[in-house]
Amino acid sequence: MRRWAPALLVIAACAGGRVVTEPQPPQVAPLRFGVDTHVHLTMAQGARPLFSGEPGSGELTWNPRVRLKNQLEEAHLRSAGIKLVFGALWPPNATRPGRSALDESLDQVDALAEFTRRRPGFRLVDSAQSAREAVSKGFIAVLPQLEGGEGITRVEDVDLLYAAGVRCLTVVHFVDTQLGGAAKGQLQKNVLGVRTGENNPRGLSPLGRAVVQRAMDLGLLLDLSHASEVMMDEVLTMAEARGVPVINTHTGARALMDMERNLSGPLAARLAKGGGLIGVSLYDTQVEVLTGDVLPAHQHGTCDDVVAHWLELSKVAPPERVVLGSDLNSFISRARAGGQCANGLRNASDLPGLFAALEANGVPRAALDGMGDEVLRVLEVVEARASPAARAQALSLRREVLRRDSSHFTVGW
């Protein structure tokens, strides 16, 4: 029967029978300079053997429920106009004998460098200038972002990470660390679907405060994703005192889904006022809408939820300060088909449909087209506020980074 299927489809069509085909998203021109402030290009290395595939590997899921298979392809990013991404590095737990959390973090930086060597359409960058140059030459620029400072046990470790190439630091991840408190209820919501609605009272530790100060000295972009509200407030206070913008690379609006992991209106407004950016996640669990319909004919569980969170954050922050922070290739499920995205958000090929839905609901096309410009602006300000002496001191450690267990660390810049 299987070998006759094509012929039967043709006969049905000729006989007037209707052949059911997949809904086609609208044809949308690529963004002029799109950005994604949180994608995992090397999750297959960080979460081996659980996660499979990477851009260019030939493995790609088309099922929005599948969490552990590649959701990114270079051609899809290009068709959406994504020219700059933050390459999120998720260090696995330090379970291998003789290896620390810092070892694992540095190993992930090396894995990202190796990824760009074997996938020549991507170019590793370490500054706003190098990102501009990479984009001008047709590459997708990749800025290394360490998701979680578990490996930082002394201020000098920040220098080592900077010397290795990290340029964005997410201070904490899922759990409290020696640096401070993480947003409460993340694991319960992600694993069990249970929302606590509570906040973590813990903010920055003394070491955490020193790390944040050193990061600003070095020109490391600080990411508030996953932090407790107290920590976010404290980091913002420190950054405001120095005129340094910060970012929340992948979040949602707490007004629509009340959990500490999402940004409250006042914090979102304050972050944007300081010149920072807010990245909207595609994780369906994080961007659920629990306060009723937001859009006309809102279909819950579809990309309508993402659009609603984007619009809600754009009420308290200028539209140009709200960008994409997809979290693709993390352990996330994504919007099902329906609503304003014909096929849902199966993988990066559906981003043009999301951008079309955002524009149809009032997000200015200029704000979408200029996401990359905004990120480069933030990077330039962060770099301008840095200490040249501190950066020179950190970069002098590059040789030490290269000496560390050469079977794992072969960083090449």
Check which CATH number belongs to the domain holding 364 and give it. Answer: 3.20.20.140
5 within some domain: no
For residue 154, being part of any structural domain is answered with: yes
What's the one-letter identity of residue 79? S
Do residues 214 and 184 lie in contact, with contact meaning Cβ atoms separated by under 8 Å? no
pLDDT digits (tens, 9 = 90+) for 159-169: 999 999 999 99
> Does some domain include residue 26?
no
Note whether residue 264 is domain-resident: yes
pLDDT in tens, 376-387: 999 999 999 999
Q: How many CB atoms lie within 10 A of CB 6?
A: 9
Please tell me the pTM assigned to this model. 0.91
DSSP state of 65: T
pLDDT score at 406: 43
Per-residue model confidence as pLDDT tens digits over 110-136: 999 999 999 999 999 999 999 999 999
Q: Mean pLDDT over residues 338-346, rounded?
A: 96
Is the pLDDT assigned to residue 409 strictly greater than 70? no
φ/ψ of 50, rounded to 5, equals -70, -40
Strand 221-223 relative to strand 82-89, pairing: unpaired
* Structural domain range at position 234: 42-403
245 vs 186, residue with greater confidence = 245
Beta bridge partners of 237: none
**Domain assignment present for 295:** yes
271 domain residue, yes or no: yes
In this structure, is residue 34 part of a structural domain? no
H/E stretch holding 35 = strand 34-39
pLDDT digits (tens, 9 = 90+) for 299-318: 999 999 999 999 999 999 99
Structurally, how many domains does the chain consist of?
1
For the record, the structure tokens of 306 come out as 């993402």
On the question of a cis peptide bond just before residue 49, with omega within 30 degrees of 0, the verdict is: yes
Has residue 1 been placed in a domain? no
Which pLDDT tens digit goes with each residue over 264-277?
Answer: 999 999 999 999 99
